[in-house]
Copies of this chain bind each other. A is one copy, B any other.
Amino acid sequence: MVLTDRVLMGPGPSNPYPEATAGLGRPMLGHLDPEFISTLDETCARLREVWKTANPLTLPVSGTGSAGMEAAFVNTLSPGDVVVVGVNGLFGDRMCDVARRCRAEVIRVDAPWGRALDPQQVLEAHGAPKLIALVHAETSTGVRNDVAAVAEGKGDALLLVDCVTSLGGIPVDIDGWGVDVAYSGTQKCLGVSPGLAPFTMGERAVERRVRDPQSWYLDLGMIGDYTSGATRKYHHTAPISMIFSLHAALGALLEEGLEAAWERHASCGAALQDGLQELGLELWAQEGHRLPELTTVVVPEGVDDAAVRTALLERYGIEIGGGVGPWAGKIWRIGCMGHTARMRNVTLLLGALTELLGR
């Protein structure tokens, strides 16, 4: 079988760090093996560094980022609880659906896709919600929402933040900001295969958490007894290889330095966005709120969205993403995350687009 490899510049997965790929090949160990347990402990400790938190309940949930979202809501919301959700893209919208299935009372605060949420509007949507939820980096639009501003005004409410496309790529500061619950995914800026959801929950949220959540698989009380409890009580079999891979990638990230990795994502994003504009393309996300790790650009008039993406894939082996929802066919989403966030990939994509668009 001939294998294909790609330069992954879509909305995720990104190209994994070489250390992540090597980690997948570590020999299998049992999920109660002392050596695996110590690797798991170290993984959770590394996650705390990356999340910038001291939260004891910090761990990789055994599913993709969307499982992290579900774990966050089912352990926080009981039927009838009020939750305010900021929605300016697909993933804010998804939060509303997940919260609704917890039978919570969902109050949406919408902003147009492509623009940032207004923190004040989110804070004023309800007098005393149990929970406020928003997405830090909207993968569907390339917009960064101002988590710090919402955190500052949250009062007694708990704050839940989706960091799927931010963790490891742009500054995230769980304890500094005062975020109570957050989750991410491994396949974006962390540069690991999809399949785990880094997760953290602070003391205020732990005290108010749902004691008997509707999900058995994502019951953080029971999961926490395994990952950090004294008895290591078996809950479900941990995804060993994926945890080895995350462990290795986090090690590489921390060795590079979190600030250096943010800087790498920032400079690649800036070079990409400058280069696209030099090609005459129009950036789509609101200025001042653009993510460096995920750039959205308007498909130029007269250009066939799908034909360009297919040519990039087939002729150059480069994947970029199309728009979703109302923006399908109208924008491109270009990721530069994890191991993909290297100048060589920016140069390659700009060269390919120059050739394809005849600029």
Q: How far is the CA of A235 from the CA of B66 in the complex (A)?
A: 9
Q: Which of B12, B16, B239, B319 contacts A193 (CB 8 A)?
A: B239
Q: Which of A24-32, A128-136, A144-152, A297-305 contacts B (4 or more CB under 8 A)?
A: A24-32
The answer to whether A28 touches B16 (Cβ under 8 A) is yes
Can you list, as one digit per residue, whether each of A46-85 has a CB less than 8 Å from chain B (1) or not (0)? 0000000000000000111111011000000000000000
Q: Min CB distance, A344 to chain B, in Å?
A: 17
Min CB distance A119 to B, Å, is: 26
Contacts of A69 in B (CB 8 A): 216-217
Query: Does chain B have a CB within 8 A of A194?
Result: yes
Inter-chain contacts of A35 with B (CB < 8 A): 4
| A62 CB contact (under 8 Å) in B13, B15, B64 | B64
> How many angstroms between the C-alpha atoms of A292 and B319 in the bound complex?
47
The reply to whether B4 and A30 form a contact with Cβ atoms under 8 Å apart is no
A269 within 8 A of B: no
Is A256 close to B, CB under 8 A?
no
Q: Is the pair B28, A8 in contact by a Cβ cutoff of 8 Å?
A: yes
Q: What distance in Å separates the Cβ of A354 from its nearest Cβ neighbour in chain B? A: 23
Among A114-156, those with CB < 8 Å from B are: none
What is the CA–CA distance of A158 and B11 in the complex, to the nearest angstrom?
40
Pairwise interchain contact B4-A27, C-beta atoms closer than 8 A: yes
Which chain B residue lies CB-closest to A191?
A: B28
The CA-CA distance from A185 to B237 in the complex, in Å, is: 10
A88 contacts the other chain (CB 8 A): no
Q: Chain A: interface residue count, which band?
A: 35 or more
- A232 on interface, CB distance cutoff 8 Å: no
Are A63 and B242 interface neighbours, CB within 8 A?
A: no
Q: Which residues of B contact A157 (CB under 8 A)?
A: none
Across-interface contacts of A64 in B (CB, < 8 A): 62, 236-239
Give A217 to B98 CA distance when docked, in angstroms.
Answer: 9
* Complex alpha-carbon distance, A3 and B10, angstroms: 34
Task: Choose one: B25, B27, B32, B324; the contact of A234 (CB below 8 Å).
Answer: B324
B27 to A6, Cβ gap below 8 A? yes
The residue among A21, A29, A239 with the most chain B CB atoms within 10 A of its own CB is A239
Residues facing B in A220-266 (CB within 8 A) are 234-242, 245
Residues of B with C-beta under 8 A to A236: 64-67
Most buried by B among A16, A30, A236: A30
A27 contacts across to B, CB distance below 8 A: 3-6
The 5 tightest CB contacts between A and B, nearest first, are A195-B239, A5-B27, A193-B241, A66-B236, A24-B24
19 pairs of residues in contact across A and B, judged by CB atoms under 8 Å: A3-B26, A6-B27, A12-B237, A13-B30, A16-B28, A64-B238, A64-B239, A66-B236, A67-B236, A101-B212, A101-B215, A187-B237, A193-B240, A193-B242, A195-B195, A195-B240, A234-B324, A239-B242, A241-B241
A interface list, Cβ under 8 A from B: 3-6, 8, 10, 12-13, 15-16, 21, 24-33, 35, 62-67, 69-70, 94, 97-98, 101-102, 185, 187, 193-195, 212-217, 234-242, 245, 313, 319, 324
